[in-house]
A and B are shown apart, each in its own frame.
Chain A
Amino acid sequence: MRLSYVATGALMTVRELMRNRLVLIMLFLIPSIFYTLVALTTSDRPIAFKLASVSEDTFVSVSQKSESLIFIGVAAVGFLTSFVAMNLIRRDVEVNRRLVICGYRPSELIVSKLTVLMGVILVVALFVSLSLLLFFRPDRFALTAVGLILAGWVYGAYGLLVGAIFRRELEAILFIVLLANIDAGWLQNPIYYADAQNTEIIRALPAYFPSQISMVAAFSDHSVTVPIAASVGYGLGLLFLALIVHRWRMPRVRHHGHLGDHNG
């Protein structure tokens, strides 16, 4: 791995991203719209729900608005980062193949895109975290923000995997919308979870651990070490699969550096 190649790849990817003004606007507009809708439609009535990752008997009682803001924050970060990741890995696939023929290694290209994705995850998660403070202050703000960052990490890796698998954009978008909607946008809401059955299915979904980190950190002083480790591992697993598929799709080029020779 040649670091200067990764740096050039990341620089070019950032330039491309910065020139896509619509994407930049959406990154900030979508969380703002989500939060505005929550603020306008939820009340401060207290609700009790289970902190699933702590124990089946640990309930907290908080305002409906606060709970909804955390829940929707995780969903917003998950949606956005998975879309950005899918776009990053799918964009200019043929031109990237030409770069590989010219001498870039596929690993250098994917690491440069990953570097940019990490930056996007941090920016989006921090924007969503700071926006929370307009409405209420979580008990442990930093750890709540970590939950949102890890939501971006897990869903970003999922977006990379979907983008690497599907050749056409429509299928990729549908897979992202489908899972993000069911998982981050519905099943991980603790109010739903409280009365759900077959909860092991909900626990196996990508947004489970990140939303537990944010919920537990925002409304209690219980440990979040296990869900943090599980989120990191979950994201790494998805990323590993994405890298395998991406490498498989990239050309295996016999580089003609100075003298190429092949016997079939």
Chain B
Amino acid sequence: MNESTLLSITDVAKAFRGTPVLKGVDLELRSGEMLAVVGENGSGKSTLLKIAVGLLEPDAGAFSIRGTMGYCPQESLLFDTLTVRENFQFFGKAYGVTDWRERSDRLLERFQFAQYADYLISEVSGGTRQKLNLCIAVMHEPDVLILDEPYSGFDWETYVHFWEFTKELLEGGRALLVVSHLIYDREQFHAVHELIDGVLRCD
């Protein structure tokens, strides 16, 4: 793992009940780099994502990450009966950040939903939920950000903010991995890898 590598997956294999899902996957993500992994349903991208996030152990191969990680799930996993602000507080505690209020203020302004800070999640729109879902993944300023199907649920405004924000993250030396069944704006990525039958191929 060289100095600029933040995420390294080497020859990772995983099988479920004898059926191989990943067959020796290699992936390296460097500082300032944004990669995409695309694949059809059943291609193994969820398994790869779970291994990268730390939810699943690979059967073989090596996995390493340098620095902190942020994970933005496809569905907005939030506490419905807590407010936007309280969700920031709870996840801020999980990350161990003491200045969660200042960080949440910055993100609320950045993604333009400060007016909903004291609303319960059950009262806000799907777009606002999606913004918060992303903000929670980045509130601890992770070195590596992993996004699962980030486009689903984004309205146009959030989509534009998302790309502006990712540029800032990359300029700050962070790295992004987007896992999706479809990739838009391919030119924004340094590389797009396609997962076919458990094998990763670079486009």
Contacts and interface: CB of A to CB of B under 8 A. Distances in A.
A261 B57 CA distance: 11
Contact of A19 (B73, B90, B96, B120): B120
Nearest to B65: A260
Nearest to B120: A19
A16 B81 contact: yes
Contact of B65 (A92, A253, A256, A263): A256
Task: Across the A-B interface, give the 4 residue pairs with the lowest CB-CB distance, nearest first.
Answer: A264-B58, A102-B94, A254-B54, A261-B64
Nearest to B83: A15
B162 to A, nearest CB: 19
Given A16-B81, A101-B71, A262 B90 contact: no
A259 B136 CA distance: 21
A264 B93 contact: no
Given A94-B75, A254-B54, 13 more contacts: A12-B82, A92-B80, A95-B78, A102-B94, A104-B94, A251-B55, A254-B57, A259-B65, A261-B64, A262-B57, A262-B64, A263-B61, A264-B58
Interface in B64-113: 64-69, 71, 73, 75, 77-82, 86, 89-91, 93-96
Interface of B is mostly: mixed
28 contacts: A8-B90, A9-B90, A12-B82, A12-B86, A12-B89, A15-B81, A19-B120, A92-B79, A94-B75, A98-B73, A99-B94, A103-B94, A103-B96, A104-B93, A251-B55, A253-B53, A256-B65, A256-B68, A256-B69, A256-B144, A257-B68, A258-B67, A259-B64, A259-B65, A261-B62, A262-B64, A264-B61, A264-B63
A256 B54 contact: yes
Contact of B93 (A5, A15, A92): A5
A15 B82 contact: yes
A263 B62 contact: yes
Given A102-B94, A256-B69, A20 B54 contact: no
Interface of A is mostly: mixed
A137 interface: no
A222 interface: no
A165 B17 CA distance: 23
A115 to B, nearest CB: 15
B60 A264 contact: yes
A256 B53 CA distance: 9
Interface residues of A, number: 33
A102 to B, nearest CB: 4
Contact of A103 (B82, B95, B136): B95
Contacts of A15: 81-82, 86
B202 to A, nearest CB: 22
A98 B79 CA distance: 11
Interface of A: 4-5, 8-9, 12, 15-16, 19-20, 92, 94-95, 97-99, 101-104, 251-264
Contacts of B171: none
A4 B78 CA distance: 21
Contacts of B58: 262, 264
Contacts of A256: 54, 65, 67-69, 144
A256 B140 CA distance: 13
A1 to B, nearest CB: 14
Contacts of B144: 256
A98 B77 contact: yes
Contacts of A253: 53-55
Contacts of A261: 62-65
A102 B91 contact: yes
Interface in B37-65: 53-55, 57-65
B71 A99 contact: no
Given A98-B77, A101-B71, A264-B13, A255 B63 contact: no
Nearest to A94: B77
Given A8-B89, A12-B82, A15-B86, A258 B59 contact: no
Contacts of A5: 93-94
A230 B185 CA distance: 65
B139 to A, nearest CB: 9
B192 interface: no
